[in-house]
Amino acid sequence: MIADAVRILKNNQYKLTKQRRSLLEFLSEHQHEYTEVTQVDKHMREIYPTMSYNTVYRNLKEFEQIGIIETKSQAGGTVVKYQCDFSKMHHHHFICRNCGSVLELAECPLDYFQEQLPGCKIEGHRFEIYGICAKCRAAGIE
């Protein structure tokens, strides 16, 4: 499950330490949801008590820069998620407001917006849809 991430690490000249492997395993176990950075930090320091706060955050930042994880800021702080699809780095999500599950969207709506902005240059975007997933709806949650 983490083979793609290991390949990306090696291609970017990062060593696969036991701490990085543990971090990748934890993140891959939660790949269908965003996880608070503080929860990741807590998990890692339970396994490696001498691991510093800075080491955890530095590794997460490096993972983000090379495309292993996705991050976003929200009211409670930063959250991270293991990459959905290493073969398609540019993608968007549907996020369930009830259970937090994340589903990858197949299409990017950017062309629609570019047509509405003649002469403008879009330099970046993030697109997320929020609602209730089919599993939660089947359980009667609206």
Domain ranges of the chain: 3-82, 92-138
Q: Nearest 5°: phi and psi at 14? A: -105, 140
The per-residue pLDDT for 38 is 94
Q: Which residue has the higher pLDDT, 7 or 74?
A: 7
The one-character DSSP state at 64 is H
For the cut 70, the answer to whether the pLDDT of residue 89 exceeds it is no
Total Cβ atoms within 10 A of residue 15 = 7
For the cut 80, the answer to whether the pLDDT of residue 101 exceeds it is yes
Mean pLDDT for the stretch of residues 95-124: 85
Tell me the range of 29-33, 55-59, 75-79 where mean pLDDT is highest: 55-59
Same fold, 3-82 and 92-138: no
Of the pLDDT bands very low, low, confident and very high (cuts 50, 70, 90), residue 86 is low
- The CA radius of gyration of the chain, in Å to the nearest whole number, is 17
Q: Which residue has the higher pLDDT, 111 or 67?
A: 67
* DSSP structure string for 66-111: TTSEEEEEETTEEEEEE-S-TT--S-EEEEETTT-BEEEES--THH
CA 33/CA 102 separation, integer angstroms: 5
Q: What is the pTM of this model?
A: 0.76
CATH of 92-138, one of 3.30.1490.190, 1.20.1090.10, 1.10.1520.10, 3.40.50.150: 3.30.1490.190
> How is domain 3-82 classified at the CATH fold level?
Arc Repressor Mutant, subunit A (1.10.10)
